[in-house]
Structure 1
């Protein structure tokens, strides 16, 4: 499994905090934006984070990319 880049670590940390303070929509939008800008390895690592957080229901795949549901 690929490790998150430093930038994506910050994004995930902010998304998790935003989920607590703002809601699921903030989390989903932040993670999906990071996913669209990431390499394949980073996309896999972000996918693992989504599974770890149990938030698969917040996303859907459209044309091979992850978007907030």
Structure 2
């Protein structure tokens, strides 16, 4: 399953919408994705699974790439 992860690059940074970034990660569950991203020390705000029409929409955007962890 593919998850979209919203995060801040610095772990101690307060979440501010203007600095929020997102990546796509393949994993079995939200916990699995968080475990895979733990070494990067991101301040993860939200992890959401994407599928169906939402996944198709994200794939149609030019910036869609799934991180290989």
Q: TM-score range by the shorter chain?
A: under 0.3
Q: Which structure has the bigger radius of gyration?
A: 2
| Larger RCO of the pair (alpha carbons < 8 Å, separation 6+) | 2
More strand by share: 2
TM-score by length of 2: 0.27
TM-score by length of 1: 0.27
More helix by share: 1
